[in-house]
């Protein structure tokens, strides 16, 4: 089955932060959101470096090679950060989260490191349109068994990209695409401040990806705009036609 893809990305500095440390890339096959770590040096440089490193991977890929190619892209992002720090040691300590979707035909793979998220809502079915979080947050809360019973467990990230190899590998999740699928990639400037049900309700509409992306950013700003917010909305349809942005 031939698919048509329509996608839209939006980013906003928010109302509190002095700069936007999020970066994103919306290609034809590859969609990526990176969130530079706040409180670290040069979060904006970290996220933009990671994005630039993976943009060459926005190209047709055999479906069987999707996971391997996207895994290599994440490794290249990590290597790019390492090279950046080697060139300018003052950047040591910078890091970024990373979430990406690479598609080919009726298949896709999601990669994530950190707490930027990928969601999927399957619309048009006979059942209630549930929204699924495809990615898993790499925070201690989600990675420690029995976390609810561990006192003073830190909320900080347990995994992110910073150019080092120890524990920085991405989770890779294969998916089979269906007409009506709508994906959301986002930084935690959305997911940490806008309720899950609000996000689901916004995604579960007939509005275009551009309108949905605008609405999601507006919801984050209405909640106080405490963080940078970045979203990419990707629609999958079986209608013949060209890719629109």
Total-model pTM: 0.90
Q: Dump the DSSP string for 143-189.
A: HSTTGGGSTT---SBS--BSS--TT-PPEEEEEE--TTEEEEEE-HH
Cβ proximity of 116 and 33 under 8 Å: yes
Amino acid 144: pLDDT:
42
Instruction: Tell me how crowded residue 239 is: count the other CB atoms within 10 A of its CB.
Output: 9
Distance CA 67, CA 103 (A): 10
Given a cut of 60, whether residue 242 has pLDDT beyond it is no
The CATH fold of domain 4-237: Phosphatase 2c; domain 1 (3.60.40)
Q: How far is it, in rounded angstroms, from Cα 149 to Cα 77?
A: 36
Residue 152's pLDDT is what?
A: 44
The pLDDT of residue 243:
46
Let me know if 124 is exposed, middle or buried by CB neighbors in 10 A (0-12, 13-18, 19+). exposed
| Residue 137 CB neighbour total at 10 angstroms | 21
137 by DSSP, 3-state: which?
coil
Give me the mean pLDDT over the 14-28 stretch.
96
Q: Is 34 a residue whose pLDDT tops 60? A: yes
């Amino acid at each position: 089955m031939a698919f048509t893809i329509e996608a839209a990305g939006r980013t906003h500095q928010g109302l509190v932060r002095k700069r936007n440390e999020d970066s994103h890339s919306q290609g034809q096959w590859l969609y990526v959101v990176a969130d530079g770590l706040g409180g670290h040096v040069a979060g904006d440089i970290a996220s933009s470096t990671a994005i630039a490193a993976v943009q060459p991977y926005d190209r047709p890929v055999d479906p069987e090679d999707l996971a391997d190619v996207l895994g290599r892209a994440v490794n290249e992002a990590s290597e790019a950060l390492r090279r950046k720090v080697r060139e300018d040691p003052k950047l040591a300590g910078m890091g970024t989260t990373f979430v990406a979707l690479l598609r080919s035909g009726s298949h896709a793979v999601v990669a994530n490191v950190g707490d930027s998220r990928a969601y999927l809502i399957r619309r048009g079915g006979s059942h209630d349109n549930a929204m699924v979080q495809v990615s898993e947050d790499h925070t201690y809360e989600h990675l420690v068994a029995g976390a609810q019973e561990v006192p003073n467990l830190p909320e900080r990230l347990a995994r992110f990209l910073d150019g080092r190899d120890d524990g920085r590998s991405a989770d890779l999740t294969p998916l089979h695409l269906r007409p009506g699928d709508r994906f959301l990639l986002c930084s935690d400037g959305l997911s940490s401040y806008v309720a899950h049900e609000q996000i689901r309700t916004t995604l579960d509409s007939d509005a275009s990806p551009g309108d949905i992306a605008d609405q999601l950013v507006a919801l984050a700003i209405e909640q106080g705009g405490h963080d940078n917010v970045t979203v990419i909305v990707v629609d999958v349809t079986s209608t013949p036609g060209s890719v629109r942005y």
